[in-house]
Amino acid sequence: MVPQPIASQTTTTRSLISVIGASSVGTLIEWYDFYIFGSLASVLASKFFPEANPTAAFLSTLATFAAGFVVRPFGALFFGRLGDMIGRKYTFMVTLLLMGGATFAIGLVPGYATIGFLAPVLVLLLRLLQGLALGGEYGGAATYVAEHAPAHQRGYWTSWIQTTATAGLFVSLLVIMGTRLALTKEAFDDWGWRVPFWASVMMVAVSYLIRRNMSESPLFAKAKAEGKTATNPLKESFGNRYNVKFVLLALFGATMGQGVIFYTGQFYALSFIEKIGHVDKMQTDGLMTIALLMGTPFFVFFGWLSDKIGRKGIMMTGMLLAVLAYRPIYQRMYEAMSLQNRTEQPDKTTRKNTQTPDPVIGGATVQTQTVQRTYTDGTMATEVTTTKQLADATQGELGPPVTTVKETITLNSSDRWTLIWLVFAQVLLVTMVYGPIAAFLVELFPTRIRYTSMSLPYHIGNGVFGGLMPAVATYLATNANNANATAKQAGLAAPYAAPYLEGLWYPIAVAAVCFVIGLLYINGNDKRGS
Amino acid sequence: MNALKKYLGIAWLALAALVGYFGIMDFGLPKLGTGKTDDLVFGIIILFILMPIIVGGLVTFGWFALQGDYDE
């Protein structure tokens, strides 16, 4: 069970930097395109899905999110095959244009209120195209860089590609925050959310021009010149038992755990702060941005370290730490956001009542009560209670008044930094499992079928296992909340002491299984540069 | 170590069966019958995407392990 060696390259450091730059910028933009959809999930839910139930609308968007991830493996197969047959360079230029076009088009789709059911259908289709493009991008970029890098520095150089996944999220948060700051809340909710989608076109154009001038990977060019490229990469990759066992090992011993750790640290953390903690959106984006910025250099550090001490030990340590630390981390996050142990300053509490005509139902009114509370530690909470008071309910034409309560918390500096450090700890775990993985995957497969063979386990692990993380975790937490509510109604003790932690069982279980498989089955001789 | 890898092949096969059972009976099928659109989408993803990949992949991996494909 020996990973395939890659011939050492003689590419100079200077040309390597340009290779890394061109590859990384394009991959970063693809991640950016992919993430703005997730980062704007709440707004998109209100625009493209019926909003009878906010949780249902949110879940619908998450399902769309998952659909994007589910097609990624198909993108990996389709573009992986192309990349192994016609070349890495042309293939990941196609994926870049496909991604950019789909992202721009999402920004143009009219809302559900304008074109009805066609709106979510169009968004879903464009989302599928995004997933398809991303499925082809990563394997190409990682392979392209690895095939330029010297064998003993492969972990270091490919780790730059690994930073793009987090940097893409970072840039997406920055662009969204900038757009929110530049516009009023009403303008952002009305049309401003489309700006981050439109902005993608400029970035893709620049990246396309950079990539167009790059040369083909030297290893692939050599294989092609010698007539040694694969004629049927799919058959060679997945019709060959010897290779399939490595594909399965990569999936169950590395990428599956990496995927759930990646999405827990970056997306579930964000969703947890926003949905469970009710922390203000701008504050959430801001603290996530700082934590990501602090954590990103560690991708390169762990990539570099993997060249020195091996990939396996670093990745397995990251997985084990995640299994052990997730529940304590999230419990502490919950405590940092809770209002329970804070002292309110009643003299600073303000109340404001407004009554406006309902813009949808003629003759009806909307009553809004806004209560702002200030706490001694500097935390502030805003509770907005909206009651849709019907004008003439006695005639039975309109239903009873509906009341919704929305709470938004703005944390004090101390608790805000507590959250930043706790998210940073999770990003650090991400860098441990994710930093060395490109080099690990590249070294597992031979040049002629590398693009296809490494792309599939990566996108199943990262896309399917990781991409479904928010939806499965939300489902588990909702189930726990419902069980507690049912027990309370029946006068019984709540079965879940901390229902907000229940969603974590998914990443913990997946990472634990991955850790055992990786520890026992992956050959420790994965450091090929010596 | 090789013996442990082989014996654990049985554990992966058992895990595949366990995940398959709970994934289908507790997680996937109940979602299809609720009448809600988002539950339907979620149930379909679980039953037709996630389950075949996890169960099929784990069965194959377990079988390979049991056959000694991962021996040193």
CA distance A201 to B25: 45
Q: Please report whether residue A306 resides in a domain.
A: yes
Residue where one domain finishes, among candidates A360, A393, A410: A410
In this prediction, residues A459-464 reach a mean pLDDT of: 86
Q: Which of A81, A179, A83, A79 is nearest to A131 (CA)?
A: A79
User: Would you say residue A302 lies in a domain?
Assistant: yes
- Tracing tokens 């192309």 back to the chain, one arrives at A82
Report d(CA A454, CA A435) in Å as an integer: 16
Question: What is the length of chain A?
Answer: 530
For B64, nearest residue in chain A (alpha carbons): A245
In which domain, by residue range, is A364 found? 346-376+378-410
Same-domain status, A261 and A359: no
Q: Closest partner residue to A56 among B36, B64, B72, by Cβ?
A: B36
- The CA-based diameter of chain B, rounded to the nearest angstrom, is 52
pLDDT band at A313 (very low <50, low <70, confident <90, very high): very high
Is residue A396 scored above 80 in pLDDT? no
Most B-contacting residue of A58, A128, A246, A252 (CB-CB within 10 A), to test interface: A252
Strands A350-357 and A380-389, bridge-based pairing: unpaired
pLDDT of A437-449, one tens digit each? 999 999 999 888 9
- Which of these, A96, A83, A440, A422, lies nearest to A258 by C-alpha position? A440
Based on the fold, state whether residues A360 and A496 are members of the same structural domain: no
Domain count, chain A: 2
Which letter does DSSP use for residue A407 in this model?
E
A139 and A155 in a single domain? The answer is: yes
Average the pLDDT over A38-45 and give the result: 78
Pairwise pLDDT comparison (A131 vs A303), residue with the higher score: A303
- Higher-confidence residue of A120 and A350: namely A350
For residue B38, is pLDDT > 70?
A: no
pLDDT greater at residue A58 or residue A370: A370
Listed in sequence order, the residues at least 6 apart from A462 whose beta carbon sits closer than 8 Å to its beta carbon are A72, A255, A258, A259, A262
Contact between A272 and A330 (Cβ < 8 Å)? yes
pLDDT band at A128 (very low <50, low <70, confident <90, very high): confident
Higher pLDDT, A122 or A324: A324
pLDDT tops 60 at residue B20:
yes
The answer to whether residue A273 scores a pLDDT higher than 50 is yes
In this prediction, residue A50 has a pLDDT band, given cuts at 50, 70 and 90, of low
pLDDT value at residue A530: 31
What pTM was estimated for this model as a whole?
Answer: 0.85
How confident is the model at residue A275, as a pLDDT?
A: 87
Within a domain: A4:
no
Q: Which one is predicted more confidently, B28 or A291?
A: A291
How far apart (Å, rounded) are the C-alpha atoms in residues A85 and A465? 28
Compute the C-alpha angle A144/A316/A76, nearest 5°: 35
- Residue A324 within a domain: yes
Q: For the segment A54-94, what is each residue's pLDDT rounded down to a tens digit?
A: 555 555 655 565 566 678 888 999 999 999 998 888 898 89
- Cα separation of A293 and A315, whole Å? 21
Last residue of a domain, one of A394, A410, A426: A410
Q: Please indicate whether, in this complex, the C-beta atoms of B49 and A63 are within 8 angstroms of each other.
A: no
Distance from CA of A58 to the nearest CA of B (A): 10
Contact B69 A523 (CB under 8 A): no
Identify the helix (H) or strand (E) that includes residue A78: helix A72-85
- Shared domain check, A276 and A199: yes
Higher pLDDT, A360 or A100: A100
d(CA B51, CA B44): 10
Give the Å distances, CA to CA, from A188 to A59, A191, A270, A314, A397: 22, 6, 20, 42, 34
Interface of B with A (CB under 8 A): 1, 4-5, 8, 12, 15, 36-38, 41-42, 45, 49-50, 53, 57-58, 60-61, 64-65, 69-72
Q: Are residues A320 and A450 in the same domain?
A: yes
Question: How large a percentage of chain A has pLDDT more than 70?
Answer: 89
Query: Does the beta-carbon distance from B8 to A244 stay under 8 Å?
Result: no
> Would you place residue A529 in the very low, low, confident or very high pLDDT band (cuts 50, 70, 90)?
very low
Does B38 sit within 8 Å of A59, measured CB to CB? yes
Confidence band, pLDDT 50/70/90 cuts, at residue A526? very low
Co-location of A264 and A150 in the same domain: yes
Whether residues A222 and A358 share a domain: the answer is: no
Domain finish residue from A391, A410, A429: A410
- The Cβ-side half-sphere exposure at A278, using a 13 Å CA radius, reads 13
Q: For A279, phi and psi rounded to 5 degrees? A: -75, 145
Over residues A147-157, the pLDDT tens digits come to 888 888 999 99
Residue A475 resides in a domain:
yes
Q: Based on the domain organization, do A260 and A202 belong to the same domain?
A: yes
Question: What's the mean per-residue pLDDT of chain A?
Answer: 86
Average pLDDT over residues A181-194: 91
CB A179 within 8 A of CB A192: yes
**If pLDDT is split at 50, 70 and 90, which confidence band does B8 have?**
very high
- Is the pLDDT reported for residue A341 higher than 90? no
Same-domain pairing of A49 and A163: yes
Residue A8 included in any domain:
no
- The length of chain B is 72
Of the listed ranges A343-352, A475-484, B13-22, the least confidently predicted one is A475-484
pLDDT at A388 > cutoff 80? no
* A451 against A22, higher pLDDT: A451
Supply the DSSP symbol for A151: G
Closest-CA distance of chain B to residue A404, Å: 21
What is residue B23's predicted lDDT score, i.e. its pLDDT? 86
Residue A385, SS3 per DSSP:
strand
Q: Rounded to an integer, what distance in angstroms lies between the CA atom of residue A51 and that of residue A42?
A: 11
* Among A126, A127, A138, CA closest to A91: A138
- Let me know whether A95 and A242 are in one domain: yes
Cβ-in-10-Å burial (0-12, 13-18, 19+) of A446 comes to middle
Interface test with A, best of B39, B69, B71, B72 (most A CBs within 10 A): B69
Backbone angles phi, psi at A450, to 5 degrees: -65, -45
Q: Is residue A526 part of a domain?
A: no
The ipTM is 0.92
Q: Are residues A236 and A126 in the same domain?
A: yes
Mutate to test the interface with B, among A521, A522, A526 (most CBs of B within 10 A): A521
Token pair, residue A55, equals 């949780």
Both A328 and A445 in one domain: the answer is: yes
Query: For the ranges A119-123, A518-522, B67-71, which has the lowest average pLDDT?
Result: A119-123
Percent of chain A with pLDDT over 90: 42
Which CATH number covers residue A40? 1.20.1250.20
Backbone angles phi, psi at A71, to 5 degrees: -80, -10
Task: Give the residue carrying structure tokens 């200077």.
Answer: A14
Q: Judge whether A368 lies within some domain.
A: yes
